[in-house]
Amino acid sequence: MPNDIYDPPALEAGTLRIIPLGGLGEIGRNMAVYEINGKLLVVDCGVLFPEETQPGVDLILPDFSPIKDRLDDVLAVVLTHGHEDHIGAVPYLLRLRQDIPLVGSALTLALVEAKLKEHRIQPYTFTVKEGQREQFGPFDLEFIAVNHSIPDALAIAIRTEAGLVLHTGDFKMDQLPLDGRITDLRAFARLGEEGIDLFLPDSTNADVPGFTPLEKDIGPVLESVIHRSKRRVIVASFSSHVHRVQQVLDAAAANGRRVALLGRSMVRNMGIAADMGYLNVPDGLLIDYKKAVDLPDDQVVYMSTGSQGEPMAVLARMANLEHQIEIGAGDTVILASSLIPGNENAVYRVIDGLTKLGANVVHKGNAKVHVSGHAAAGELLYCYNILKPKNVMPVHGEYRHLFANAKLAMETGVPRENTVLADDGTVVDLRNGVAKIVGQLDLGFVYVDGAAVGQITDNDLKDRRILAEEGFISIIVVVDAATGRIIVGPEIHAKGFAENDSVFDEIKPDIAKALADAAANGTRDSHALSQVVRRTVGQWVNKGYRRRPMIVPLVIEA
């Protein structure tokens, strides 16, 4: 993986350039840009959800800067499936150019269109399905069915004069999927016979040995847990996990319970899935949550968002007693999802909060209530042996996942020099059947903070962390402009540092002396005097309290 930042050479005619703008080294904000002969194709455009070290941030976007000045060259954005980490950033890209065609399966585009409606964007969409082949400028695209934890997922075969690329998106090889739609290994084999010049496989479970368990095995477990529950049942999952919601609906119906959907995205997405026939809802099973509270506790299941511990999602609000539905002793809470790396602390906090309220919390660690949507090492090995790719560039995963996937490729015979370990912003050129790294762009995180997009910087987040962890001290001093002698102050106020501002009485003489010494040495500039105050107070706080609060001095000359 390249570390140094360096610009790639000018792109030669007939060479395919691939630049991942997100999704490498992280689980989220998946986005890749393909370029040949002056035209661009984007595959996926997702978001990354913030960690605790990014306070106040709502979403993290890919860095669009490499294509921001070339949006007229973008022929289409192809979406592999409808999860947020693959479609969530589409509204922010379309703010820059609204008429970029969006290409994807029916369910994927329906979920995107609902999201764009909230942003008041009317997109141009082009619906495709597996087996279909379409030409977009120099890009000849073939769409292949793959199995994932959401219906209608597609892999993309991209043919150009530079060669054949297979971009899997998220996938696994469940041989008995709930919807009967398996990963099309016959199409994979056909592409392998044609000759795959570059393979970009999902890496999320590359470090997990064996095979991902069957999705159908989850249904009986959910049904059993609900059957044993004497009071209310709350199931938390991703709001786009149609298969898991279907299993909860089936398990609730088998136990004579009705289901109430909680969370705006859950209600919206499942409404779309039901309308399009991807979700089978028995008549009379769903009930509005406001009416569900009147049902006996043993006759209701709540299906909610918040399985990742998101502070504003339904489950976290329940754990904090900030939701209309108050969790109590005897209630059962099922977390029917995997932990996204970085969310562990938030999820365990929610589990602890629910447990403290008396709930029985069932999760992947103590019951088989979830299976992953991603191919494990055994499935990836099958893919490598079927496809026999000339070059491999693992995508979608943290670094350990990418390394594990690259190792699998090499174990099946892909030469080490043909295994490309890239990072966000790594520029890879495919020419004459050879893929190689030719540049490394300097890309960053783009933070969405309320209405602000890209205005919050890493330094701002550092300040927020300091404020949250160390506190805040302000010092106001009025000095004589001629002598530097203090006329008023210093007035010192603190937040999140000490119970009583009187603790600062001992430092006030030191501030006066430091200002007098600075004035005696000819310092008169108010900014320079402010820095003198900052250093004096900072050293005192660090030495006496082992803290590094944010210190904001204000020196006023009179």
| For range 465-476, the mean pLDDT | 68
Euclidean distance between CA atoms 213 and 206, whole angstroms: 14
User: What does the pLDDT look like over 225-239, one tens digit per residue?
Assistant: 999 998 989 898 888
pTM over 0.95: no
Euclidean distance between CA atoms 296 and 363, whole angstroms: 25
Give the model's pLDDT for residue 390: 97
Give yes or no for residue 55 having a pLDDT over 60: no
| DSSP state, residue 325 | S
C-alpha count within 13 angstroms, C-beta hemisphere, residue 547: 20
- Where is mean pLDDT largest: 237-241, 255-259, 319-323? 255-259
The SS3 call for residue 45 is coil
Give yes or no for residue 90 having a pLDDT over 90: yes
Residue 102 lies in a domain: yes
Cα angle vertex 499, ends 498, 501, to 5°?
A: 70
User: What does the pLDDT look like over 492-507, one tens digit per residue?
Assistant: 777 766 656 667 777 7
Residue 428 lies in a domain: yes
**Residue 455 banded pLDDT, cuts 50, 70, 90:** low
Euclidean distance between CA atoms 531 and 508, whole angstroms: 15
Of 453, 486, 520, which residue constitutes the final position of a domain?
Answer: 453
Of 329, 362, 395, which residue constitutes the final position of a domain?
Answer: 362
Euclidean distance between CA atoms 64 and 31, whole angstroms: 10
Give yes or no for residue 454 having a pLDDT over 60: no
Euclidean distance between CA atoms 538 and 548, whole angstroms: 7
Euclidean distance between CA atoms 359 and 234, whole angstroms: 10
Q: Which of 364, 335, 336, 374 is nearest to 174 (CA)?
A: 374
- Where is mean pLDDT largest: 132-136, 465-469, 470-474, 491-495? 132-136
Residue 1 lies in a domain: no
Give the model's pLDDT for residue 302: 92
Are both 189 and 52 inside the same structural domain?
yes
Phi-psi region of 484 (alpha: psi -120 to 50; beta: other; left: phi over 0): left
Residue 50 lies in a domain: yes
Give the model's pLDDT for residue 460: 60
- Kindly state the percentage of the chain with pLDDT values over 70: 88
Give the model's pLDDT for residue 12: 94
153 backbone dihedrals φ, ψ, rounded to 5°: -75, 145
**Strand order across the beta sheet in which 102-104 lies:** 125-127, 102-104, 74-78, 39-43, 31-36, 16-22, 426-431, 434-440
Contact between residue 290 and residue 267 where contact means Cβ atoms under 8 Å apart: no
Are both 167 and 20 inside the same structural domain?
yes
Query: What CATH number is attached to the domain comprising 336?
Result: 3.40.50.10710
In angstroms and rounded to an integer, the radius of gyration of the C-alpha atoms of the chain is 28
Give the model's pLDDT for residue 311: 60
| For range 323-346, the mean pLDDT | 80
Give the model's pLDDT for residue 174: 93
The SS3 call for residue 78 is strand
The SS3 call for residue 30 is coil
Q: Which residue has the higher pLDDT, 148 or 474?
A: 148
Contact between residue 546 and residue 471 where contact means Cβ atoms under 8 Å apart: no
**Residue 461 banded pLDDT, cuts 50, 70, 90:** low
C-alpha count within 13 angstroms, C-beta hemisphere, residue 87: 24
Are both 328 and 417 inside the same structural domain?
no
- Count of all residues that appear for the chain in the document: 558
Question: How many domains is the chain built from?
Answer: 3
Residue 462 lies in a domain: no
Give the model's pLDDT for residue 453: 67
> What b/e sequence results for 252-261 when a residue is b if at least 16 CB atoms lie within 10 Å of its CB, and e otherwise?
bbebebbbbb
**Residue 351 banded pLDDT, cuts 50, 70, 90:** confident
Across the chain, mean pLDDT equals 87
**Residue 324 banded pLDDT, cuts 50, 70, 90:** confident
Give the model's pLDDT for residue 451: 58
Are both 509 and 494 inside the same structural domain?
yes
Query: What CATH number is attached to the domain comprising 428?
Result: 3.60.15.10
| For range 320-329, the mean pLDDT | 83
Give yes or no for residue 376 having a pLDDT over 90: yes
Token pair recorded at residue 459: 């330094």
| For range 173-180, the mean pLDDT | 92
Q: Which of 548, 348, 375 is nearest to 468 (CA)?
A: 548
Query: What CATH number is attached to the domain comprising 522?
Result: 3.10.20.580
Please count the other Cβ atoms lying within 10 Å of the Cβ belonging to residue 483.
Answer: 13
Residue type present at position 558: A
Tell me which of 251-260, 349-358, 412-421 is least confident: 349-358
Of 391, 423, 453, which residue constitutes the final position of a domain?
Answer: 453
Q: Which residue has the higher pLDDT, 501 or 85?
A: 85
Cα angle vertex 428, ends 423, 431, to 5°?
A: 160
Give Cα 132 distance to the centre of its chain.
29
Are both 56 and 193 inside the same structural domain?
yes
Give yes or no for residue 349 having a pLDDT over 80: yes
User: What does the pLDDT look like over 97-140, one tens digit per residue?
Assistant: 999 999 999 999 999 999 999 889 999 999 999 999 999 999 99
Give yes or no for residue 309 having a pLDDT over 60: no
C-alpha count within 13 angstroms, C-beta hemisphere, residue 366: 9
Q: Which residue has the higher pLDDT, 352 or 399?
A: 399
Q: 558: buried, middle or exposed (CB in 10 Å: 19+, 13-18, 0-12)?
A: exposed
Residue 115 lies in a domain: yes
Are both 63 and 175 inside the same structural domain?
yes
Q: Which residue has the higher pLDDT, 89 or 457?
A: 89
Q: Which of 65, 278, 285 is nearest to 153 (CA)?
A: 278
Residue 368 lies in a domain: no
Token pair recorded at residue 367: 């019951």
| For range 374-393, the mean pLDDT | 97
Give yes or no for residue 450 having a pLDDT over 80: no
- Kindly state the percentage of the chain with pLDDT values over 90: 54
Are both 203 and 283 inside the same structural domain?
no
Give the model's pLDDT for residue 164: 97
C-alpha count within 13 angstroms, C-beta hemisphere, residue 211: 10
- Residue 360's beta-bridge partner residues? 332
Q: How far are the Cα atoms of 29, 53, 350, 367 from residue 345, in angstroms, in the given order?
A: 21, 12, 9, 20
The SS3 call for residue 218 is helix
Residue 500 lies in a domain: yes
Give the model's pLDDT for residue 342: 66
Are both 47 and 156 inside the same structural domain?
yes
Contact between residue 198 and residue 390 where contact means Cβ atoms under 8 Å apart: yes
Give the model's pLDDT for residue 465: 59
Residue written as token pair 């398990």: 251
Q: Which of 251, 244, 242 is nearest to 220 (CA)?
A: 251
User: Containing domain of residue 444, as a range?
Assistant: 16-210+373-453
Are both 156 and 31 inside the same structural domain?
yes
Are both 59 and 156 inside the same structural domain?
yes
Q: Which residue has the higher pLDDT, 485 or 66?
A: 66
Token pair recorded at residue 3: 């570390």
Are both 354 and 384 inside the same structural domain?
no
Are both 22 and 165 inside the same structural domain?
yes
Give the model's pLDDT for residue 307: 65
Give yes or no for residue 415 having a pLDDT over 90: yes
